[in-house]
Amino acid sequence: MLQGQAPSLLVRAERIARDFDVSAEQVRSITRHLVAQLKDGLANPRPWQLPSYVQSIPTGAEKGEFLAVDLGGSNCRICLVNLKGDSTFDVAQSKHIVPPSLMVSNSHRPLFDYIAHRLKEFLEKRAGLADQLPYSLGFTFSFTCEQLSLASGRLIRWDKGWDVPDALGRDPCVMLQDAIDRQGLPIRVTVLANDSVGTLLTRSYISGPKTSTLAAIIFGTGTNAAYVERLSNVRRMTTTVPSSGIMVMNTEWGCLDDKMQVLPRTPFDDEVDASSTDPGSQMLEKRVSGLYLGELLRLAIVQLYRQHTFVMELDEKSTVFQHGNINSSFISKLATASAKSAIDLVEDVLAAKNTTPEDVQAIQLIASSIARRAARLAGASLAALIIQSGRLAPSPKHSTSLACKVEEPQPAENSSSTRVQRFWQSLGLLWQRLLKSVGMGPIVRKPHSCRSSQQTQISREENGEQSIIDIGADGSLIELYPAFETEMRGALRDVTEIGLAGEQRVRVHLTKDGSGVGAALMAQAASQLEKME
């Protein structure tokens, strides 16, 4: 480039793309910090590492028909799930886009009345459903809640662009039940679920008793993960629970490193955060989830356009000048488009004219760097979760294996738990009881003990599954962006504790719409245990 000559479009685009690079050393630093935060959240009351009160995972033998509501980043799904008891299920569902006026509102009632009305429509369209006995409903509520039991919680904060302030501190199950009662529907909300916890349970149900699912990861409008933790490590809980066994943890990892100690930062990230409904929080999510990636690309395009580097012409009403009007699907489509179709795509989405191949190349370069950074941060986060879980190394001999089902604990002396508390605390034991009732013993040798890790290891060797770290996954990014998992795995290999050998043990299985089925699985457990009580 000659002295005094302005940098070309591609040179400027390459500079922006480099700002989104995440080196191997950065991945290792981020992973170390996130492991420390995960440990801190197990010991102290933080808005991450939230106990789900799920203390056992499905085996695939569960049966029944149950309702579920899945309220996610921008959609509300109503599901009727038929669990067949052989690791398969059928789902009838309706999907609705939540109106923006309900996502940002002064009152929670319009939102929950909207959900209840959609439930009523769902039942009325299916002959006879509305006349049956009360349905048990699992409510997947994909926002940060402090779980108080399997059936109750307290909303801590909104994210993903939502803001309904008078719902903060309230129980989502109570708000939904009140709206259902106003409609006079034969439905009882019996379970509060999280999308990542639900996806983990669904993956465990599908995979059957021979596979010990470790975690579920969500990369869609938002991002989150749940995993199986040793209960002895969960020291933040004040509720009486068994002293051994497992606890499914809702990590809420989107808010890890909100103090920005290790996460990468660009001026575009700062602008996205400042214009969000929750500035200063969910900093990891704002670099990984689909809600924000399109906005990062939009801001980069605007900067280049204002520098008069593009040949293409943009109408003043173009989406590129409108906050939040470019979504992550544009990034996914750019990644697979041919040269000709990419020009058509850019002109269609951006309302552009006279677009050149160089214009498109610059946009594709920045889009791929934004997506690659998201995937590598996702890999660093998954690495932290795997390290914390202890699955990388064999457990000490005779330790409790996470593959074991939790046996019923001995009652604590002088327990002050109420009958309701005991009901929900024992819900995690239902999976084993149900197996026993049909003549199938749980994966244990004798009461109140699990198989040793050595026995479990031998069993997995016999089944060819000794080394598998089984992960369920859901979300448009990991499903539709072609290189997302590849880049995520690259980051896993960059982490010293995992490396190539550890990365090859990880199996990621797409568990599409798993959150709704997971909520139904929890509702099934609650219903069966209530009958037994």
Residue 315 sits at φ, ψ, to 5 deg, of -70, 150
Helix axes 430-437 and 514-532, enclosed angle (nearest 10): 70
Instruction: Taking the CA atoms of 501, 503, 504 and 507 in sequence, report the sign of the dihedral they define.
Output: positive
Selected catalytic residue, list 46, 109, 154, 157: 157
The CA distances from residue 135 to 80, 434, 509, in Å, are 10, 20, 30
Q: How far apart are CA 258 and CA 240, in angstroms?
A: 31
Are the C-beta atoms of 112 and 103 separated by less than 8 Å? no
State yes or no: is 157 an active-site residue: yes
Query: How far is residue 149 CA from its own chain's centroid?
Result: 20
Q: How far apart are CA 291 and CA 288, in angstroms?
A: 9
Query: How far is residue 12 CA from its own chain's centroid?
Result: 35
Nearest residue to 366 (alpha-carbon basis) of 432, 434, 295, 420: 295
Selected catalytic residue, list 52, 142, 204, 207: 142
State yes or no: is 489 an active-site residue: no
Amino acid in the structure at residue 121: E
State yes or no: is 101 an active-site residue: no
Selected catalytic residue, list 19, 113, 195, 470: 195
Q: How far apart are CA 52 and CA 43, in angstroms?
A: 15
For Cα atoms 90, 95, 96, give the angle at the middle one, nearest 5 degrees: 165
Are the C-beta atoms of 297 and 366 separated by less than 8 Å? yes
Q: Active-site positions?
A: 142, 157, 195
